[in-house]
Structure 1
Amino acid sequence: MTDVDIQLKVNGTVRRATVPPRLVLADFLRVNCGLTGTHLGCEHGVCGACTILLDGEAVRACLVFAVQADGSEITTIEGIAAPDGALSPVQAAFRDHHGLQCGFCTPGFVISATALLQENPAPTDEEIREGLSGNLCRCTGYQGILNAVRAAADPGTD
């Protein structure tokens, strides 16, 4: 197979590369772009650790080939904070409501929660659980994560 030229906008920066057709987007982001916040857990799309925004939609970067994302806009966990480094409301809520422990799954949860709240700014607890059902955590027991997303949806509930 011959390598393919691609161009993506990653966290606001245009990235051009020549990549093998079988290179998954998660590896492209980690290796080619140096954005190691996109974690690879199961590499089968089950755990959600590699969740990114692809043209505004939460997707598993381990299930998308980099060539499939050609021409797309991608936001990784590194692109969620404000340009001055201020945490996004979701990131701040995860910090304030103990929505993380070891942190491995946290980028995927933050991206998934961000996408959920963009689509549904006032989700019920059931909708939050459903929106995050594709992400797995082995440390928190999920209550802190649920509290964080609830707080990010309604900052007045601190």
Structure 2
Amino acid sequence: MVVTITLNGKKVEALVKPDTLLIDFVRDHGCYSVKRGCETSNCGLCTVFVNDKPVLSCSMLVARVNGCKVDTLEGLQKEAEEFGAFIADQGAEQCGFCNPGMIMNAIALFRENPDPSDEEIKEYLAGNLCRCSGYEGQMRGIKAFLEYKKNGGSR
């Protein structure tokens, strides 16, 4: 079957098998920030945005996003770089493997709730597996970034 997807702002048309997963499609098109971790929808490493909503690409068929807008971290570099610096400042990127999924979900949080409580932040991070940290660095980074945004973008 032929699918047409707007991937990171660029229209992509491709012939795919009916059982092709979205993760395989985006990786085949050069989006290597989308990673395979658990393949059971439990780790968050494969998070992408479909029509601006975070989804786990390891559990979605590419046919389901035919005609949709799909964004990966490669397409969100400006937002990702700005926030990523706050994660790095807190030493929360230790091995870095979880960072793309963590950043994608943090961006979703910032877009949907610019003033979240600690519990709301934890809800967004709940689907992201990080084996190196206790998530405290990520929490500090998110809170510092939110404070930075409240102050008009000045530290």
TM-score (norm 2): 0.91
User: SS of the residue aligned with 1:104?
Assistant: coil
Other-structure match for 1:80: 76
Q: What displacement does 1:89 show?
A: 2.8
User: SS of the residue aligned with 1:154?
Assistant: helix
TM-align CA RMSD: 1.6
Write the distance in 1 (CA, Å) between the matches of 2:12 and 2:92.
Answer: 32
Check whether the contact 1:122–1:154 (CA below 8 A) recurs between aligned residues: no
User: SS of the residue aligned with 2:59?
Assistant: coil
Q: What displacement does 1:152 show?
A: 2.0
Other-structure match for 1:17: 14
Q: Which of 26, 38, 41 in structure 2 is aligned with 1:29?
A: 26
Q: What displacement does 1:88 show?
A: 3.6
Q: What displacement does 1:92 show?
A: 2.3
Other-structure match for 2:45: 49
Check whether the contact 2:34–2:101 (CA below 8 A) recurs between aligned residues: yes
Write the distance in 1 (CA, Å) between the matches of 2:12 and 2:89.
Answer: 34
Deviations 1:124-157 (A, max 9, x none): 1111001111111000211111111112222159
Write the distance in 2 (CA, Å) between the matches of 1:92 and 1:64.
Answer: 30
**Residues paired across the two proteins, number:** 151
Letter in structure 1 aligned against 2:4:
Q
Deviations 1:39-59 (A, max 9, x none): 110011000000111111011
Q: What displacement does 1:87 show?
A: 4.9
Other-structure match for 1:90: 83
Write the distance in 2 (CA, Å) between the matches of 1:140 and 1:87.
Answer: 20
Q: What displacement does 1:70 show?
A: 0.6
Letter in structure 2 aligned against 1:135:
N
Tell me if 1:144 matches 2:144.
no
Q: What displacement does 1:77 show?
A: 1.0
Q: Which of 119, 129, 133 in structure 1 is aligned with 2:126?
A: 133
Runs of at least 5 residues in structure 2 that lack an aligned partner in the other structure: none
Identity %: 36
Q: Which of 108, 121, 128 in structure 2 is aligned with 1:115?
A: 108
Write the distance in 2 (CA, Å) between the matches of 1:5 and 1:152.
Answer: 41
Tell me if 1:63 matches 2:40.
no
Write the distance in 2 (CA, Å) between the matches of 1:62 and 1:128.
Answer: 23
Write the distance in 1 (CA, Å) between the matches of 2:90 and 2:70.
Answer: 27
Check whether the contact 1:54–1:72 (CA below 8 A) recurs between aligned residues: yes
User: SS of the residue aligned with 1:134?
Assistant: coil
Structure with a larger share of its residues in helix:
2
